[in-house]
Amino acid sequence: MSDIALTVNGKRISGAAEDRTLLVHFLRENLGLTGTHVGCDTSQCGACIVHVDGKAVKSCTMLAVQASGSSIVTIEGLANGADLHPVQAAFKEHHGLQCGFCTPGMIMTAIDMIARHPEGLDEATVRAELEGNICRCTGYHNIVKAILAASKTMSKGSKGKVKKAA
């Protein structure tokens, strides 16, 4: 067992977990943050993506103990009460989700992608950078649309400067 202390969605958390516990299982099972999902066991599907110190990370590739001392943002930490994050709002507006299972990972990836491209995004870039996220429902069409729209909204909102989400 290892002691783990980290910040999750702005709250300081301390706990203990078996050494082999993956970050995704710590978030889901110890903290009850079940919005982060597990869709595979080879770090391919991206349903488990969270932000670790501001970067999109597959939380199934990381031990919980490795995340000790980090600041984590999960899908539950994005909306401010009733106010959705612009990427969440864009996914809803553009029907960028169907069953919703890959959606949290898609949204976390999209926020990271938009933050890394303050100059704006085009379709080819979005498609290339979604390489680590698998969706079986949407054919990606509306996910791409939603990310492009959110990128535009966010660059307008910050007058060209995109704030890092985490």
Partner 1 sequence: MGIEGIGARVARKEDRRFITGAGRYVDDMVVPGMKHAAFVRSPHAHAQIKKIDVRQAQAMPGVIGVLTGKELKADGIGNLICGWMIHSKDGTPMKMGAWSPLAFDKVRYVGDAVAIVVAETKGQARDAAEAVEVTYKELKAVVDASKALEKGAPQIHPEAENNLIFDWELGDSQATDAAIKASAHVTRMKIVNNRLVPNAIEPRAALGYYDRAEDHYTCWTTSQNPHLARLVMSAFYNVAPENKLRVIAPDVGGGFGSKIYIYPEEIVCLWASKKTGVPVKWVADRTESFLSDAHGRDHVSTVEMAFDKNNRITGLKVDTIANLGAYMSLFSSCVPTYLYATLLSGQYNIPAIHANVRAVYTNTAPVDAYRGAGRPEATYLVERTMETAARELGVSPAELRRTNFISSFPHQTPVIMNYDAGNYAASLDAAMKVSDYAGFSVRKAAAAKKGKLRGIGMSCYIEACGLAPSAAVGSLGAGVGLWESAEVRVNAVGTIEVLTGSHSHGQGHETTFAQLVNQRFGVPIDSVSIVHGDTDKVQMGMGTYGSRSGAVGMSAVAKALDKVEAKAKKIAAHLLEADEGDIVIENGALKVTGTDKSVPWFQMALAAYTAHNLPGGMEPGLKETSFYDPSNFTFPAGCYICEVEIDPETGMTEIVQFVAADDFGNIINPMIVEGQVHGGIAQGVGQALLEGAYYDASGQLLTASYMDYTMPRADDLPSFKVSTSNTPCPGNPLGIKGCGEAGAIGSPPAVINAITDAIGINDIAMPASPSTVWAAIRATKH
Tell me how far, at minimum, the Cβ of 111 lies from partner 1, in Å: 12
Rounded-to-integer distance, Cα 40 and Cα 38, Å:
6
Tell me how far, at minimum, the Cβ of 145 lies from partner 1, in Å: 8
Half-sphere exposure of 10 (CA within 13 A, CB side): 8
Stretch that binds partner 1, among 38-46, 51-59, 62-70, 150-158 (CB under 8 A): 38-46
Q: Are 54 and 41 in contact (CB under 8 A)?
A: no
Pairing state between β 49-52 and 71-73: antiparallel
Residue 105: alpha-carbon gap to chain centroid: 5
Closer residue to partner 1 (CB): 36 or 155: 36
Rounded-to-integer distance, Cα 111 and Cα 154, Å:
10
Q: Where are the beta strands (DSSP E) in the chain?
A: 2-8, 11-17, 49-52, 55-58, 71-73
Stretch that binds partner 1, among 62-70, 111-119, 132-140, 155-163 (CB under 8 A): 132-140
Tell me how far, at minimum, the Cβ of 53 lies from partner 1, in Å: 20
Under the criterion CB under 8 A, does residue 95 sit at the interface with partner 1? yes
Under the criterion CB under 8 A, does residue 40 sit at the interface with partner 1? yes
Q: Residues 53-92 vs partner 1: string with x where CB under 8 A? A: ---------------------xxx-xx----x---x--xx
Rounded-to-integer distance, Cα 110 and Cα 87, Å:
7
Under the criterion CB under 8 A, does residue 128 sit at the interface with partner 1? yes
Closer residue to partner 1 (CB): 90 or 160: 90
In the structure encoding, which two tokens stand for residue 61, read together? 């590739």
Which stretches of the chain bind partner 1, using CB under 8 A? 18, 20, 25, 28, 32-42, 44-45, 47, 74-76, 78-79, 84, 88, 91-93, 95, 97-104, 107, 123-124, 126-128, 130-131, 133-145
